[in-house]
C-alpha cells in the first residue's frame, strides 16, 4: 500500500514580524481571517501591512468605506513600488475617474465586486494573491445578511481553492451578536482588537499554532511605521 503524501500548508507573512512569530510564521495559505475591532483600533493598518508585505504577490484591496485613491496613496507609503496592487473601489457609485490599478464598481454592490474579483482571478491564475475586504460591515448595511453570507462563502471558497489568503474586516459594535457568530463560522480564524485602560490588545483564535499566547490578550501599539506588537 502506497503511503499517502500530505502536502504541508505554508504560511503568508502578516507584514508584522512579531505577529508572524506569534502565528508560527503568519497566516495559513488557503485560509480566511476575520479582523474585528472598533474604530481607530488600527484595522486598516493591519490590513495595509498584510497587503503590502510581499512584492512577489498580487495585493487586492476591496474598499467599501474609503475612496480607491486614498487607499492607493496609503498603501504606497508601505511600499513605494507596488506594481501588483489592485483596488476594487466599492465606496461610491458616482466617481467615474480612471486611475491605474483601481476598478470602480457600484456602492457595496455584491455582484459587481464578485465580477471584479473573478476578473482578477483569471488574470493571475498562476500568481499568489492576498486580499482584504474593508469592510464587510458596509456590505451588511447595504445588502441583506443572506446575500452577504452567500457572497462571502463564494469568495472564501475561491481563495481557499487557489491557496490564497483573505482578510475580512468588520466593525465591532455595529451588528447583532448573531452576525458576528455567522461571520466567525464562515471564516477559519479571528483577530479581535480591544482597548483596555492600559492600552490596545489583540486576541487570536482559530489559528493552527502551538503558541501559548493564544489564550492571552497581546498588547500592541500604533506608531508612525504602523502596528507593532509589544
Q: Is residue 17 part of a domain?
A: yes
Q: Is residue 166 part of a domain?
A: yes
Count CB atoms within 10 A of the CB of residue 107. 14
Q: Is residue 109 part of a domain?
A: no
Query: Rounded to whole angstroms, how far apart are CA atoms 106 and 129?
Result: 23
* Model confidence band, residue 6 (pLDDT cutoffs 50, 70, 90): very low
Q: Is residue 24 part of a domain?
A: yes
Q: What CATH number is associated with residue 167?
A: 3.40.50.300
User: Residue 2: is its pLDDT beyond 70?
Assistant: no
User: Residue 96: is its pLDDT beyond 80?
Assistant: no
Q: Is residue 106 part of a domain?
A: no
User: Residue 93: is its pLDDT beyond 80?
Assistant: no
Question: 166-201, pLDDT tens digit by residue?
Answer: 999 999 999 999 999 999 999 999 999 999 999 999
Phi and psi dihedrals of 85, rounded to 5? -95, 130
Query: Rounded to whole angstroms, how far apart are CA atoms 22 and 215?
Result: 12
Among the residue ranges 2-11, 86-95, 97-106, 211-220, the one predicted with the least confidence is 2-11
Q: How far is CA 102 from the centre of its chain?
A: 17
Indicate the number of domains in the chain.
1
Q: Is residue 100 part of a domain?
A: no
Q: Is residue 133 part of a domain?
A: yes
Sign of CA dihedral 186, 45, 212, 197: negative
pLDDT at 4: 45
Domain that holds residue 23: 11-57+120-229
Q: Is residue 92 part of a domain?
A: no
pLDDT at 55: 87
* Model confidence band, residue 81 (pLDDT cutoffs 50, 70, 90): confident
Asked if residue 202 lies in contact with residue 215, where contact means CB atoms within 8 angstroms, the answer is: no
Amino acid at each position: 500500500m502506497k503511503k499517502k503524501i500530505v502536502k504541508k500548508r505554508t504560511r503568508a507573512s502578516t507584514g508584522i514580524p512579531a505577529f508572524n512569530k506569534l502565528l508560527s510564521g503568519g497566516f495559513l495559505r488557503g485560509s480566511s481571517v476575520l479582523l474585528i475591532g472598533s474604530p481607530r483600533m488600527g484595522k486598516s493598518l493591519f490590513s495595509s501591512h498584510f497587503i503590502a508585505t510581499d512584492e512577489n504577490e498580487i495585493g487586492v484591496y476591496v474598499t467599501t468605506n474609503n475612496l480607491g485613491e486614498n487607499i492607493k496613496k496609503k498603501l504606497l507609503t508601505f511600499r513605494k513600488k507596488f506594481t501588483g496592487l489592485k483596488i476594487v473601489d466599492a465606496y461610491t457609485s458616482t466617481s467615474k475617474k480612471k486611475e491605474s490599478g483601481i476598478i470602480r464598481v457600484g456602492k457595496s454592490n455584491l455582484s459587481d465586486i464578485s465580477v471584479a474579483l473573478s476578473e482578477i482571478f483569471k488574470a493571475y491564475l498562476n500568481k499568489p494573491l492576498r486580499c482584504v475586504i474593508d469592510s464587510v460591515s458596509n456590505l451588511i448595511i447595504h445588502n441583506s445578511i443572506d446575500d452577504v453570507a452567500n457572497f462571502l462563502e463564494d469568495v472564501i471558497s475561491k481563495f481557499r481553492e487557489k491557496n490564497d489568503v483573505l482578510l475580512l474586516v468588520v466593525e465591532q459594535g455595529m451588528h447583532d451578536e448573531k452576525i458576528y457568530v455567522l461571520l466567525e463560522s464562515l471564516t477559519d480564524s479571528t483577530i479581535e482588537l480591544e482597548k483596555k485602560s492600559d492600552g490596545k490588545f489583540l486576541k487570536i483564535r482559530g489559528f493552527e499554532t502551538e503558541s501559548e499566547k493564544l489564550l492571552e490578550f497581546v498588547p500592541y501599539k500604533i506608531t508612525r511605521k504602523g502596528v507593532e506588537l509589544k
